[in-house]
Amino acid sequence: MRLFNIFKKKPTEEKKIIAEKIEEKEIEEKNYDLPYFGKININNLEEYYNVNIDFNKSSINTDLNFKNKVIEGGGIEHIETFLKNIENFDKSNKVHIEKDFNKQNGQTLDYINFYLDELSENEIAGIIDVENQDIPKNVLLLKKLRLIRVGLYPDGKYGANYYATFDYSVDVDGEPCNQLLVVNTDGNGDLDHITWES
């Protein structure tokens, strides 16, 4: 009877403390240092991370959105690579935006013409050189589009088929308009689709 009691004994307090320290160390070691965001625990992810980053003499809002608590299979390294290439993706997006604008039936032309329809002449003059007769006003406005937000959805949160959203806007009275031209891409930065959101 005594023999069985030996096996039923609970671990000593010292063993508990050692086990807790090992567990804490394991959790700590699963932190990953992401560009802009700093350390995040990849085995206990929060749903939403948000930072502002300096970009092209301005600031853009950047956020990470997770559905799952854990990211596996090199997913965190992919996020790191994506974040390091925002400038390249921005350049690529602008090529897609210009192509969409030139299609005449794309979202971009409607988006740009919205400003010409809704803003007063004074407001438009505060954005572009309205005296310029060589370049159409809508083309001048197109050149004023700037990136204001990048959102990443590495595990398809909200049912998104895309990996990233890039929000573009035009500054009106020094502030980005709440009308957004959104470029959605896959995890490689390749175009999924362009849409207009407000």
Q: Is the pLDDT of residue 130 over 80?
A: yes
Q: Is the pLDDT of residue 4 over 60?
A: no
pLDDT at 71: 86
- pLDDT bracket for residue 6 (50, 70, 90): very low
- pLDDT bracket for residue 14 (50, 70, 90): low
Pairing of β 146-152 and β 164-169: antiparallel
pLDDT at 47: 94
Encoded tokens for 46: 């929060």
pLDDT at 141: 96
Round the CA-based radius of gyration of the chain to a whole number and report it: 25
Residue with the bigger pLDDT between 37 and 5: it is 37
pLDDT at 161: 74
Pairing of β 146-152 and β 58-65: parallel
Rounded to whole angstroms, the Cα distance separating 17 from 122 reads: 70
Which of 23, 157, 168 is CA-nearest to residue 86?
168
Angle, helices 107-118/86-102, rounded to nearest 10 degrees: 80
Domain ranges of the chain: 45-197
